[in-house]
Amino acid sequence: MFAKAVARVESLVKGTLFDCRMCGQCVLSQTGLVCPMTCPKGLRNGPCGGTLHGECEVHPDRPCVWVKIHHRTVGDQSLERPNLLPSCDASLQNTSSYLNLLSGADKVGRTPLEYLDLGNRRTTQPIQTQSKLEQRLKSGDFVKTCELRAPRGASMEKLIEQASHVQGHFDAVNATAYLNARPSLSSAVVAAKLAEMGIEAVCQSTCRDHTKTSFIAELLSNQLNGVNNTLCLTGDAYHGVPRIKQVFDMDGAIMLYEARHLREKGTIYFTGERVANAPRMFLGAAINPFTEPSNVPIRRLKQKADAGADFIQTQLIFDMQAFDQRFMSLVRQEGLHEELFILAGVPVVTSKKALEIMPRIPGAWVPEEALRRLAAASDCQAEGVQLARELVEQARQIPGIAGVHLMLFGPDHSVLPDVIESLESTSVQQPTTHFRADKSAEPTTL
């Protein structure tokens, strides 16, 4: 009774002052008095990739909560690595954080996690997983990856046809799924199919759709199915009506931490349980290089690197010069390209219909000039391929870029090999090293 009365008063006072959502494990003192639970995705550690010009992806008329937190806590210049807060303890929701502070019930939820000791200059460390993508990246070759979308129906026919166009040309292929939170086959199922076809597959897992339990389950399935790469994403928002409930128990950094903990220690962090044949995924994350101010994506990158990411795929880039000046220069200054591999996201826009949706892609910065160029073309597909070729060549010249990730906006996957024609000399090779379960052992060369 007393606890409920205190919670009601706290809700009234803090609700009025801070728009408090009563998580019961208050971190306002760590977030510049901005409640992170007011982020529509409830993210606890930093912005999603949907923020652009300081606005929120879900509510473009409001500022991004996490950009505000960065601004209030460290300002627009600091590049210091942020803390990594654990997920909220769901049992404390709607209870008084004052009482929880006194009893110590909120200690875990408010105490930053200890980052794992992953060593330095990790891009030069010996091979650690069975991922062929890791082998390719560590070989020093300029890597190219692309993506295939999971079918919306229970048929793989079209996917197999699309896969046949990219097989043998790319070092890895991502299985994208649940675009805009709409149902499809899962990424894990499609990635398993690609692996079965002999394609190095990347499973994309989103915290929008996963509880911690189902995320670990997906990692286990991947391990079993020969899928050795997992990309940990927040997931874009569902804009349909009625609004559906989305999970967001983790953010991208916490997903990485759970997956890397499993890989390094063989135990599930959130349950403490040991796992037989624990998944040893090569782990990826995404970053939006055009989030402003420019210290925000760099700090988030540091956080994701130390939470366990091995490689990064960027949001799509139409202007490589701006990307280099705004983002990569800071990446190099901070030595982050030596901690993880950075793949530049290259758009391949091949239809006028796809062109129309470009400005609406969450977090994507699409310069007017690129839009005009593609809109004016009599052959949109040819122009889209040409633009992508130019972007690939420009990306290749940027120090610290390990490769490109092509994102097709159009129906015909057969154009993708054309985009990377000039890179074909760095052909997709068979693996040259064997992974050994004993991490202290050096990889052997065949």
Q: Which of 22, 35, 65, 416 binds ligand SF4 (CB under 6 A)?
A: 65
Q: Give the residue with the Cβ less far from ligand SF4, 50 or 410.
A: 50
Bridge partners (DSSP) of residue 348 are 408
CB of 36 to ligand SF4, least distance (A): 9
Bridge partners (DSSP) of residue 267 are 274
Per CB under 6 A, does 57 bind ligand SF4? yes
CB of 358 to ligand SF4, least distance (A): 19
Residue partners of 358: CB distance under 8 A and separation at least 6: 347, 349, 364, 366, 371, 409
Q: Which tokens belong to 160?
A: 């197999």
Per CB under 6 A, does 235 bind ligand SF4? no
Consecutive H or E run containing 262: helix 252-265
Per CB under 6 A, does 257 bind ligand SF4? no
CB of 292 to ligand SF4, least distance (A): 12
Q: Fill in the per-residue mask, 17 to 56: x = in contact with ligand SF4 (CB under 6 A), - = not in contact.
A: ----------------------xxx-x---xx-xx----x
CB of 63 to ligand SF4, least distance (A): 8
Q: Give the residue with the Cβ less far from ligand SF4, 56 or 428.
A: 56
Among candidates 21, 47, 32, which has minimal Cα distance to 251? 47
Q: Which of 23, 58, 407, 415 binds ligand SF4 (CB under 6 A)?
A: 58
Q: Give the residue with the Cβ less far from ligand SF4, 30 or 139.
A: 30
Q: Give the residue with the Cβ less far from ligand SF4, 31 or 223.
A: 31
Q: Give the residue with the Cβ less far from ligand SF4, 240 or 335.
A: 240
Per CB under 6 A, does 66 bind ligand SF4? yes
Per CB under 6 A, does 64 bind ligand SF4? yes
In whole angstroms, what is the distance from residue 271 CA to residue 17 CA?
36
Per CB under 6 A, does 88 bind ligand SF4? no
HSE-CB at 4 with a 13 A cutoff on CA atoms is 1
CB of 398 to ligand SF4, least distance (A): 26
CB of 61 to ligand SF4, least distance (A): 11
Q: Which tokens belong to 248?
A: 């967001």
CB atoms within 10 A of CB 119: 9
CB atoms within 10 A of CB 254: 25
Q: Give the residue with the Cβ less far from ligand SF4, 144 or 299.
A: 299
Q: Identify residues 147-206 at the interface with ligand SF4 (CB under 6 A).
A: none
CB of 74 to ligand SF4, least distance (A): 17
Q: Give the residue with the Cβ less far from ligand SF4, 43 or 203.
A: 43
CB of 64 to ligand SF4, least distance (A): 3
Name residue, tokens 């210049």.
Answer: 77
Q: How far is CA 276 from the centre of its chain?
A: 27
In whole angstroms, what is the distance from residue 127 CA to residue 134 CA?
7
Alpha helices in 156-249 (DSSP H): 157-166, 187-196, 212-224
CB of 60 to ligand SF4, least distance (A): 9
Task: Tell me the CA end-to-end span of the chain in Å, nearest whole number.
Answer: 70
**Binding residues for ligand SF4, how many (CB under 6 A)?**
14
Name the segment binding ligand SF4 (CB under 6 A); options: 14-22, 60-68, 202-210, 346-354.
60-68
Q: Give the residue with the Cβ less far from ligand SF4, 159 or 237.
A: 237
Among candidates 248, 255, 245, which has minimal Cα distance to 208? 248
Consecutive H or E run containing 420: none
CB of 149 to ligand SF4, least distance (A): 23
In whole angstroms, what is the distance from residue 363 CA to residue 2 CA?
45
Q: Give the residue with the Cβ less far from ligand SF4, 50 or 345.
A: 50
In whole angstroms, what is the distance from residue 327 CA to residue 296 CA?
10
CB 36 within 8 A of CB 56: no
CB atoms within 10 A of CB 438: 7
Q: Which tokens belong to 295?
A: 């210290």
Per CB under 6 A, does 248 bind ligand SF4? no
CB 199 within 8 A of CB 173: yes
Q: Give the residue with the Cβ less far from ligand SF4, 41 or 193.
A: 41
CB of 88 to ligand SF4, least distance (A): 15
* Complete DSSP assignment for 79-96: -PPPP-PPPP-GGGTTS-
**Contact residues for ligand SF4, defined by CB under 6 A:** 39-41, 43, 47-48, 50-51, 56-58, 64-66
